Chain A
Amino acid sequence: MTAATDLRGFAVRPYSPWGIVRELAIVAAGLLLLSLVIKLHWMTNFMIFFILVLSFDLLYGFMGHLSFGHMLYFGAGAYGTALWLVYGGKSPLIALAVGMLAAALLAAGLGRIVMRTHGAPFALINMAFNEIGHFMIQSPLSGVTQGEDGLSCSADNIFGIINLYKDGWAFGFAAVMLLAVFALLRVLTASPYGILVRSIKENEQRVKFLGYNTFRYKWVTFVIASTVAALSGGMFTLVQGFISPRVISPFGNVDIIFAVLIGGAGTLYGALIGGTVFMLIKNFLPVLIPELATLLNMKLPQWEMWLGIVLLVIVFSVRKGIVGAVLAKWRQRPCGSTT
């Protein structure tokens, strides 16, 4: 079976170095197009979110583990970076590295517990840890994190030149990081390691019988996904200059799941598309709904309810997501049979 024949393994096609460059170019083009429509500042936030969604796609789309606590690592990265900037040094890149390291260590430790489960317990345990993390930031560690009040931090320019508080630079920085992450994941998922991870998702027993230590592969994937999420969190800190416990709140997980579902899990491109759609909805609905409410002169539920409704709709009808649906249509070309 070639990787190319697998519907969900769209991004697991074999690649060549030029192929990667081509794909990156497509992604970059998409980003540029989008930024014509959306303010630069928003684009930066979009891209930071994309990185987060990509990291989740690795965990859920490729490895098949749905976590309801991924925000823990986003938050760990965000707070790690912020705390370094406040108590350590001012270099943004080092701060970012610190944030990622903190999350990686956390994921490495928790991963040993968490990767022993899958399915329902996995989702819930991660959610529980997310809650614990949230609580820790708010309460016991509040001496350091300022708890509910939030933490302000500032960083120097990268290499002395790149000032992340300027929209243009921030955009460029986020874009570069996004492309780098995309390239990394694209290569990773198409590599023998990636194929092994996907095989574990399909049939773990069989992979075990082949002699692989599946636990270790799952654990490594978990750490990678968490670290990338932390990268996203750290970038958020750098660009915003202020974070609050909200960055580690379990509620944020819905956003990620929504984005992945809407775009199509396991395709990497789906993460980008889904992320785009979601961010558009999230940024425009809160404006539209109240306007609509005044227009119709009635009290309308907040946009979160619409989110819930859309989630239901997606699960019950558009399950494969946009990319999945497109691929399905594409595979039904007349020449081959669909079996």
Chain B
Amino acid sequence: MIDIRHLEVAYGHARVIHDLNLTLSPGEMVFIVGRNGAGKTTLLKTIAGLLKPTQGEIVFEGRPVAGEPPDKLARSGFRFVAQDKKVFSSLSVRSNIELAAHGAGEPVEVAWKKAVEIYPKLAEFRALPAGRLSGGQREILLIGRALVGNPRLLLIDEPTEGLAAIVIEEIFRILKGMRQTVSAIIVEQNLSIVKRLADRIYVMKEGRIIREINDQSGITDSARLENYL
């Protein structure tokens, strides 16, 4: 479904991603692990269109999309959830979803219902300014926003970062519910989540992919995974 080849991304003169290759098949949930500064966020942002690669190609369902602006990619079905968990804080929770619905061309009510299905507590927060939500609630709102309109590809950057264990489990539940129905590339440092959800794992270091783990035993082998962090 998505095929990335020889990707290079640079900030000015500093190259952050070197000769990166990655693939994703429909319905797969692929995780990217690695130390801080490995370039994981840069990779996601580049796929999402927020950064332009200096070289290489990104092919989505047979179509080259590298360098396209983020709104066009979003209309093709990409959804990006950023690491900083930024929501539209002065808008209500419902308005956040409403904007997503408007962008995806889906009726607001349908989108809202779907979001509440995933996370019933959202209904309570309907009129609350989104800025008042806790970190975990924001992440869930963001995922809810991203799921509006049946996205084709989810790009999520460190969904569980900075969250309490109980919230992490909630997010795990939501992500698990998405498996097989949505294709996703997720950056994550929480290995427990990775082990339980990944179809495949890519390990990144200093801007390159140094390992791809696609066998189940490799995925559940904690010691091996931890080596890479």
Residues of A within 8 A of B (CB): 339
Contact = CB atoms under 8 A, between A and B. Distances in A.
B198 to A, nearest CB: 35
Nearest to B10: A339
A327 to B, nearest CB: 16
A339 B12 CA distance: 8
B210 to A, nearest CB: 23
The binding surface of chain B is classed by DSSP as: strand
A339 B13 CA distance: 5
Contacts of B15: 339
A198 to B, nearest CB: 16
Interface residues of B, number: 3
Contacts of A339: 10, 13, 15
A1 to B, nearest CB: 10
A339 B14 CA distance: 8
Nearest to A339: B13
A268 to B, nearest CB: 24
Contacts of B10: 339
Interface in B1-19: 10, 13, 15
Interface of B: 10, 13, 15
A339 B15 CA distance: 9
Contacts of B13: 339
3 contacts: A339-B10, A339-B13, A339-B15
Nearest to A5: B13
Nearest to B15: A339
A129 to B, nearest CB: 33
Nearest to B12: A339
A339 B11 CA distance: 11
B124 to A, nearest CB: 39
A271 to B, nearest CB: 25
Instruction: Rank and list the top 3 A-B pairs by shortest CB-CB distance, nearest first.
Output: A339-B13, A339-B15, A339-B10
A339 B54 CA distance: 12
A70 B140 CA distance: 51
A339 B10 CA distance: 10
A260 B13 CA distance: 26
A133 to B, nearest CB: 39
B160 to A, nearest CB: 28
Nearest to A338: B13
A339 B55 CA distance: 13
A190 B128 CA distance: 55
A105 B13 CA distance: 42
A211 to B, nearest CB: 24
Nearest to B54: A339
A74 B63 CA distance: 59
A256 B10 CA distance: 35
A298 to B, nearest CB: 45
B19 to A, nearest CB: 15
A113 B23 CA distance: 55
A32 to B, nearest CB: 39
A67 to B, nearest CB: 26
A235 B10 CA distance: 49
A225 B17 CA distance: 42
A214 B15 CA distance: 29
Nearest to B13: A339
A323 to B, nearest CB: 20
A9 to B, nearest CB: 14
A336 B15 CA distance: 17
A222 to B, nearest CB: 28
